[in-house]
Structure 1
Amino acid sequence: MGHPETRGIDLVPDTERTGRPRRLFAVWAAPNVSYLSFAIGGSLILMGLTLPQAVGVILTGNLLWVCTGVIAASGPVAGTSGSVISRAFYGVLGNKAVLVVTGWLIAAAYLALNWSAASVAGIGLAVRSGLPDGSAVHAAVICLIAGATLLIAIYGYATIVRLYSALSVLLTVVFIVVTGYVLAEADWSYAPAAPLHGGALVAALGVAFTVIASTPLSYSNSPDLARYLPRGSGSAAIAGWTALGAYLPSVVFTSVGALAATSLDMSDPQAALESILPGWFIPVFVLSVVVNTLTNNGMTAYSASLSIQSVGVRIARIPAVLVIGVLGTGMTLYAILVWDFLTSVNTMLQLVVVVTGPAMAVAVTDLLMRRNRYDGPRLLQQERGGPFWYHRGVHFAGVLALLTGVSASLMCVTASFWTGPLAEATGGVDLAVPSGMAVAAAVYWTTARALASVPRP
């Protein structure tokens, strides 16, 4: 824990594989005991949903954490990162193109999203402490939070596992206290002023599901955090502890956010929550928001640095962390200084799901087809004619599945700046997640079978 991790995408030797799958629970719980969950839960009520409808969407949308858990099981088998394992889906060269989007741009966007949440809270605390409310202070807070996050990513896996176990407990305690104050203020008989019915209700439920599902679908990095487990670790245990560690806090605190919106104006989540907290506890809450962001983005930056190496950029893992950090910091500065926070949240979540949903479907389908039999040394071979070179470096089944899945998702998404033609034809019903994932999985399965490009184990 006391030394920066220098290992990148190279194989983890058996002598360094320790621990049991259950430690993944705390690793995934810490980033999901989240202020952002409060904000997202509140946004569901702002969409016009009733409390039971919002909780129903939260329970179902978060079930997609099962996908994150399933692909985590490939980490110990392959002994390398998820960004290398995905060469099996897309081919050596095709994988590089995919990672530029999923491993760099989307990772940087999630860094910016979470840093925005922490920065809003940190800026408020700084102003309350007497600092001027200006762009210079805003930029300083953002850079300070980004720097602390990148330090976690630089120290890497051992630090994440040990530190997150303690932080998951600390954050849970603080957020349970916040939950107590929310429950005391909640309007359990809440009903929207203008209840939604018919097509309008279905449309709102579709958008809400997409927003909730976008978080678990974005975590294709779960093999990175399981690859240090012993090779014989049970796949079901890895999948279960990963999914459960993320699912439980996500459901609980997103539901609390929805409850808060029954009596508070959650268009400004921080101000709303602070209005019901005692003055002495507000700094504790704000610092917990910042710490939660460090846990979330530390994990994201760690995996993004591995993706940079997998693309073929000749750079060590630690400098790669700094590269992704600069990109994410720039996007955060734009989001905070140009956009408002809640607009940034909903816009980004609805945008990235058109890519992350189909990508997750391809990964899960490939794992099921291979029965989770991945050969790490062969995956690391990049020479022409290698086992995952396929045709000119591209696995046609994977690239076709991803592109058709993204196209289907775009046709069915409803966002602030784009409504797909199929979504428009159905009155704005957002089916981006099920359509994109179903099409991607079906195309990958049928095409890979037809080409015999995924061998049957």
Structure 2
Amino acid sequence: MSKSLRGGEAPPLEATRVETRGIDLVGDEERHGRARDLFSVWAAPNVSVLNFTVGATLTLLLGLEIWQALLVIVASQLLWIFPGIIAVSGPAAGTSGSVIQRAIYGIRGNRIVIAFFGWFISGVFLALNWVASSFMGAELMVRWGFPNHTAALVIVSIVVSAITVLVAVYGHGMIIRAYGYITIALAIVFILVTLFVGPSLDWGFTQPEPLSGLPLWSSITIGFAILASTPLSYSNSADLARYLPRSTKPSSIILATSLGGAIPSILFVGVGALLGSAVSADDVSLGIEYVLLDMLPVWLGPLFVLAVIVNTVALNGMTTYTASMALQSIGIPIKRVPSAVVIGVLGTIFTMVLVLSTSLLGAVNLMLQFLLIISAPTMAVYAADIILRRNRYDGIELFDERPGAPFWYHAGYGWTGLTAAVAGGIASALFISTDLWTGPLAVSVGHLDLSAPAGMLVSAIWYVIGFRITRRSVAS
């Protein structure tokens, strides 16, 4: 195995040292860590103010009762099992998920999928999360006397973006070492916020006009779609697990990843649902963060804003880190560190557009629903491939890009995977229900948003059937 594949010249991973390895294979002698380290890697990004915002949507805008909202929250977060399944492919292959998916889409086909989902969509997600911290940071600056709100938005966005890129540059070592402490600090601040806003919540809340029948199920399915988009977007989980020893139990990886994402999401989206029952739509037209700042004591407000910014850095630092490898996997001759900078610049540009032209609540809900058209099918296909192959991936074969190589397939395209993803995306689009556009099948079933289950089921079934047919034809 060549050093270029193994990355044998890469320095040891330390929190204070820049990680130079990109998609190169991680040798067995360089494997380290425990599966439980992944819990904080996924918990830190999900102790988020966006959980409050999305939770408020369920009761404030969708009209669900508290108990209905809580059931939707728990059901949607069960989908964290999928990032857990995806994560096990990292130690098995010893490389990035953006490379592992060559086994699904082929050498050339994978470049198309990763170029869009692993790179462009990553930039969109960076912006979506930077928007939250930008709004809050700018609001605090204005309250402290800064004269121009727009300038404050730009300043906060640029500063947070720069710190985020720095985390991505230092890479895996910093993420593993620092995120445990970040998780504890964020949990303390968010729990304090919950305790202080608790007396203001209407614990006996009921909707003035309770929903029933199709309107109720429409709200339930739309809420599920919004919440499902978060766990289904993390197809990068293999990147964070790839340094684990090959002998690490897959069940431990799945458990640590799934619980790390699900526990804080269930807790703080639930708090958001309660917040939605105690405020008006006008109060949160620009985002629930403004309401929260008014409900907190003077000393806790700045801590909360700082926690939101730290959470944003944690989430986007991880996203930028994995997206920097996506650029390499599609064949662009760029090292990982400058690649991370390019991703950061892209996300910053998207952030500038969002913070200057839209509200946080509207941006979050609309973006999360539409991203399901891409994330749900690709996540389902990736998980199906892992199960069908029994998580057996040959890292050397994944890097063989010659015609006739194991993953060259038909002229470089894995049509089974590509058509499965497209079919799932079409199914999701047909069943999506948003204020901007509703799919014809969603209309026919009373505006139920079945985009997530439709996209996942269609793509997974299509891929399983195609995979088995292809295997049988090759064997004969």
TM-score bin (small chain): over 0.9
Shift of 1:16: 1.7
Sequence identity percentage: 46
Q: Does 1:122 align with 2:141?
A: no
Q: Report matched runs for 1:244-323 at 5 Å.
A: 244-265=259-280, 266-267=284-285, 268-323=287-342
Q: Give RMSD over aligned pairs.
A: 1.3
Q: Which amino acid aligns with 1:146?
A: S
Deviations 1:387-414 (A, max 9, x none): 1000010111100100000000100001
Q: Secondary structure at the match of 1:229?
A: coil
Deviations 1:322-375 (A, max 9, x none): 111111111111111011111110110011011100000000100000000011
CA contact (8 A) 2:324 2:337 kept: yes
Q: Does 1:10 align with 2:29?
A: no
Q: Does 1:226 align with 2:241?
A: yes
Q: How many angstroms apart in 1 are the aligned matches of 2:268 and 2:149?
A: 31
Q: Secondary structure at the match of 1:192?
A: coil
Q: How many angstroms apart in 1 are the aligned matches of 2:289 and 2:151?
A: 21
Q: How many angstroms apart in 1 are the aligned matches of 2:166 and 2:147?
A: 27
Which of 97, 105, 129 pairs up with 1:82? 97
Shift of 1:2: 1.0
In the alignment of these two chains, the number of paired residues is 456
| Residue matched to 1:422 | 441
CA contact (8 A) 1:182 1:259 kept: no
| Residue matched to 1:29 | 43
Shift of 1:140: 1.4
| Residue matched to 2:9 | none
Shift of 1:453: 7.8
Shift of 1:454: 10
| Residue matched to 1:410 | 429
Which of 441, 446, 451 pairs up with 2:465? 446
CA contact (8 A) 1:369 1:454 kept: no
CA contact (8 A) 2:376 2:455 kept: yes
Where structure 1 has 5 or more consecutive residues not aligned to the other structure, the ranges are none
Which of 177, 181, 191 pairs up with 1:176? 191
Deviations 1:284-305 (A, max 9, x none): 0000000000000000000100
Shift of 1:383: 1.7
Q: How many angstroms apart in 2 are the aligned matches of 1:272 and 1:62?
A: 26
TM-score, reference length from structure 2:
0.94
Q: Which amino acid aligns with 1:158?
A: G
Q: Secondary structure at the match of 1:279?
A: coil
Q: How many angstroms apart in 2 are the aligned matches of 1:163 and 1:454?
A: 49
| Residue matched to 2:7 | none
| Residue matched to 2:154 | 139
Shift of 1:27: 0.8
Q: Secondary structure at the match of 1:141?
A: helix
CA contact (8 A) 1:370 1:455 kept: no
Q: Does 1:109 align with 2:128?
A: no
CA contact (8 A) 1:370 1:454 kept: no
Deviations 1:10-58 (A, max 9, x none): 0012222111101111111100111110111011112111101111110
| Residue matched to 1:162 | 177
Deviations 1:395-451 (A, max 9, x none): 111001000000001000012221000001111110000000000000000011112
Shift of 1:161: 0.5
Q: Report matched runs for 1:266-415 at 5 Å.
A: 266-267=284-285, 268-415=287-434
Q: Does 1:42 align with 2:29?
A: no
When residues 453 and 328 of structure 1 are mapped into structure 2, their CA distance, relative to the original with a 3 A threshold, is farther
Shift of 1:183: 2.4
Q: Which amino acid aligns with 2:266?
A: V
Q: How many angstroms apart in 2 are the aligned matches of 1:385 and 1:166?
A: 48
Where structure 2 has 5 or more consecutive residues not aligned to the other structure, the ranges are 1-14
Q: How many angstroms apart in 2 are the aligned matches of 1:43 and 1:89?
A: 36
CA contact (8 A) 1:31 1:296 kept: yes
When residues 86 and 454 of structure 1 are mapped into structure 2, their CA distance, relative to the original with a 3 A threshold, is farther
Q: Secondary structure at the match of 2:145?
A: coil
Q: Report matched runs for 1:206-225 at 5 Å.
A: 206-225=221-240
TM-score, reference length from structure 1:
0.98
Q: Which amino acid aligns with 2:379?
A: M
CA contact (8 A) 2:139 2:149 kept: no
Deviations 1:256-312 (A, max 9, x none): 111111212444311211222101110000000000000000000001001111011
Q: Does 1:152 align with 2:167?
A: yes
Q: Which amino acid aligns with 2:400?
A: Q
CA contact (8 A) 2:73 2:224 kept: yes
CA contact (8 A) 1:182 1:256 kept: no
